[in-house]
Structures are given as structure tokens and as C-alpha cells.
Structure 1
Amino acid sequence: MEKILLFFTAASAMGAVCILAEREYHFISERQDWTTAQSYCREKFTDLATVEDVQELNIMMTQKELSTLSSQEIGQFFWLGLYNDVTSWRWSMSDSKFYGEGEANFSNWLSGQPDNSGLSDCCTMMSARGGWDDVSCDQSLDAVCFDVRGLSAAFVYIDKSMTWSEAQIYCREHYSDLASVRNMKDNEEITKLIPNRRNVWIGLFRDSWKWSDGSSLSFKYWSRSEPNGPTENCGAGYSSGSGTWVDISCSHKFAFICYKRKLSIKKVALKLRVSSLLDINDPTVQEDIRRQLKQRLEEQGVAAEVELSWGKRSDRVIFHEDEEELRKTDKP
């Protein structure tokens, strides 16, 4: 049979070896402030507890020691790895070659700013007088873009109300990026462009709540009305509230939960049917199928290292024609 010319269905077995990273939680009854608890967990385990979905939350809350926490309200909290990264200010334009020594750290904050008064003030606006303020990224403001030419930049005022993210996209599409302000000279040049009593976006922003181990905060389990404190920058679980989260001052001393990364290996056998005009017993074709299958698994969010290998029968042939499918096609 000239398989390379004929369309047919074939079946094969494939083995998948998955290396799964699981979290093993450990309750520490010793009361510490958040920073000390973080150091302890990193020294003895992996880090302060990270929780990425409801299933992990339920596993963490099975720690029997949680029931021993004091009935006093302040004693019912326990530290997690949550924190508000209020010091992570950086420019949208990330190319380090654009900044001279110390220029990436230049700032011109108004007195008392940044203060996170809106609880999620992660973006920066500049006033017509040149002072900076941290505000919510969802506000609608005009923007200043810049067009980078080597080490110089031409600033461009955009008379269009946008959120910070919309302004970033606009500037990147039409120019180079949202404006970086490297020194007082840049700051003064921008103020000359801003109409009186207008505020504009510049490219300075920061991360908000995230996990101590660097994981992004995709799953959220805040108690009602939380987070609610501009100076409460650490996150704790509430043992009497099914583990719901609150923001609280990092200086408080609570019990805490660490986690240890635990690797497990899981083997799975898969039955694969492939329809193709190609010779699917060709090693090159088989490798392409394996690669595409692995890519599809990654696109579906399989959060593990997966190794795929072909299973072979006693005749050492990977793919065999599916007799049931062939009978269907042979029927008149």
C-alpha cells in the first residue's frame, strides 16, 4: 500500500510522563511579623504560602493547627505570602540602554506621594506644574508619548482621554512608548506641552498585590471590602472566615503558613488516532505530531513539565491502521 498517497486512519499508544510541582503546607505557630515569617519560610522550606486556586486553598485550610489560633480577633489571622509591592516602580520603556547612570530612578513626586490613597494606585500622572502623583490606572487622562531616536527622545502630547493601559498601547503603536522622565530637563520639557490644569499619564507604574515567591495573583479570595488600607501592605488569612484574605500592617505578629515545593511524577497512557496523507510511521512525521501535541497541552494550561514518548507493540511499529475505521470506509 502506498501510504504516502492514501488517506487513512491509524492508532497508536503514547505515554506521558508529567513532573508535577505540588505545594506541601506547614503551619508555624510562632508569631512573627511578615518579613521575619518570610525569612523563616525561605530558610526552612520554600516560601510563605502561595495559593493559586480553590483546591490549594482547601488543602491549606486542612492544617489542623489552624483551629488552635486564639479566639481573639487579632489572633485568628495567619500570614500568607501576599504582599502589596509598593516599591516596584519602573518605566514602561524597559530598555536599559536608554537610561544613563541613575536616570531610571529619577522621580519628582509631589509632597507625601506616592501614598496609595486609592488602595490600587499603581500608575503615575504628572500635573501641568510637573509634580507626580500615584493614581488608579483606570482613570481617564491625556498622555505624553515619546519617540526615541538613539539616546534622545521627542515628547508628544496626546489630547485623548485613556486609561494608563490604553495610553501605553497607543504610544507603542504610534511612537516608542509612554514617556520616561530621566531627569529634571525631561520633566520641564513635558510640562511645556501640558495645557493648564490638565494631568497626563507618564510611563511610570508598579506591581500591585502578588506572592512572595514571585507568582502572579490570578486567584483572589479577599474578604468583603478588602483590601482596604493604604498602609496595610501584607496579606493574612482569616481562620474563622474559611481562609479569606485581609490586608493588614506587616508589623503585626501572627502565626504563619509556609510551603515546600514537592515534585511528583505521574505516568499516563494515551490512545491516539491520527488521520493523515503522510506516512505517519516516518520518524520525522511522528516527531512533528509529538511536538504539536505538547504545544496543544501547554496552550490548554497544563502547568507541568510533560515528556511524551511513543508506545511500541511487539512488532516495534508505533502506528497501526485502525481496522474498525477501515471497515467503515469499505462499506458500499
Structure 2
Amino acid sequence: MRRAAVSAVLLAIFLLACGGPRRIPIAPDTDGGAPEADGALPSVDAGTVDPPLDAGELEACRAVDVLFVIDDSASMADQQASLIASFPGFVQGMREQLSNAPSLHVGIVTSDAYRDNASGCTEIGDLVTQTGGFNASGRDCGPFAGGRFLSDADADLSSRFACSAQVGTGGADDERVARALLNAVSPERNAPGACNAGFVRPDSLLVIVIISDEDDVRDGCSMDSGFGETCDSYGSGGLPDDWFAELSAHRDPASVVVLSLIGRSADNTCGAVVASRLLGFARRFGDNGYVGDVCASSYDGFFREALPVIGNACVNLI
């Protein structure tokens, strides 16, 4: 085992020296720790971020739409605070990585129907414009330049994001992350007059950021003795393959990046559940998927390491 670990480290050093991939699998822990979810391997912080892309490479990537899917269940207060703290650096990093791509949209949804949102837009997948409930900012965060979403036209993007992203911890314990993101980016929800009108553009690079300390709840019912069949939970509908197919029906997967801050290992510091279903969804996007640890004390490193993923997707966007 020691020889295998040393070989893995030498391989990582070799790849870095040769300008290889920024995300490098390393050997599993040899101290008996639990393995990563679904065989996932952690990433190595490669240090500096790739250089910005030049104007020619950015010809096909002139619009970036970023959707944050935030778990608003009872255990998520610290994670929401970490996300808010890391947001300014993430946006600045994207602007530098993409050589100031001229148009940015930012939207936020929760992992269930959000009853404290503006009237008429409280269904799962509707963009958040006002918050309420326990540990929420408790404010109307608009008006936004984009209507119901943030954009680079907003004067103080970071403070407005902080208001909207502090969605609180009064949400359902049955997280429906996949249904939230699928509804949020659907053509119907983005049509004129709909709750997310104009947020997702057909020619944009769509970056989906998931933050949850539990997996997407499974569909299913249970047999309750004396009461017959009762549904005790309901999920997003289907499996990761089904979610991928639903999104792919109206959007080229090559134009989508999925960044997931989720539970990757049963042995973690914040009680996160291993999110094998959400991990499976991210993996459907190949090199456009990137997974980090929701229990991390800071998300700065995760977003820094994800910048080359966004940059490469931008280059490959056709």
C-alpha cells in the first residue's frame, strides 16, 4: 500500500510538471478511513489557476448563467454562510478566467418549494428574490437589474447575493435538488412572463452549483400496517440518468457545468450524508462535472479549483 501511495504522488507531480490536468486522482486513504462516495477520489489543489483565456477562445462564450441550488434544511446554516463568504472571489475568478466575459446572470433556488418567496413564485425551481424563516436574511433582496435574477448590471452583486443566498433553514428534510435545478432551467420556467423569465439564455454557458449536506431523496412509498400504502417521501422523479436526459432534451450537455458541494464520504466533520445520486448526476457531464466537500470550512479552494473546469467548458462551447 505504501508503494502504491508513493507511485500516485509521483504521478501527480509528473502531471503537474507537464502542464497536465488540474484535477488529479490520488490513492485512497491508507489509514482505514471510509472510501469516497461511489468510488470518487478527492482532488489535489494544484495551486495557481490556469491563465485567462484569450479573446479568440472566448468567441463562443460571451454569456454565463450561474444557478445556485441551495439546500435550505435545518442543518445548512453554516454551509450557507460559507457559500456567501466565497461568492465574491468566485465571481472575480470567473471574470479573470474568462477575460471578463461580457454578460453574467446569477440565480438562486432552494431544494424544495420556498414559501417565503415573492407571491406567485413559490414553487420548487422558482428563483429566490426574497427570504424568510429561521436563519434567513428575512428581506426582499430586489429589485434586480435582471428582474428576478442577479446580473453584472447590479451595482452591488455580492451584497445582493448574500441577501438572496441566505435562504434559511426552515425547508423540508426531503431535499429535491435535481427537481429544483431541472425546473429552474426549463424552457417553460424561463419563458416571458414566467417566474424565471430571461434567466437562462440559449447561447450561454450554464454553470449549476449544488450545495447540500444530504442526497436527493428517493422516490417511493412504504407499507404502513393498518393504513395500506402511504408515501412517506417523494423525490425529484427518476434517477441520475433520467435527470440528465430531461436536461439534455432542451440543452446541449456540453454547454453545462455542474459543480457540486456535497457529502463525499461517510467519515466527515459535519454529519453530511453521502450523496451518491447527486454525485452520479455530476458524473454524467464528464469533464464538465466537479465535486467538492460540503463539510469544508471554506469553499474558496473548491471554487478556485473549479475555475479551469469552467474555462475549458467555455473553450469547447460550440
Larger Rg: 1
Q: Which has the higher helix share?
A: 2
Fold-level match, TM-score > 0.5? Answer: no
Normalised to the residue count of structure 1, the TM-score between the two structures is 0.21
Higher relative contact order (CA 8 A, sep 6+): 1
Normalised to the residue count of structure 2, the TM-score between the two structures is 0.21
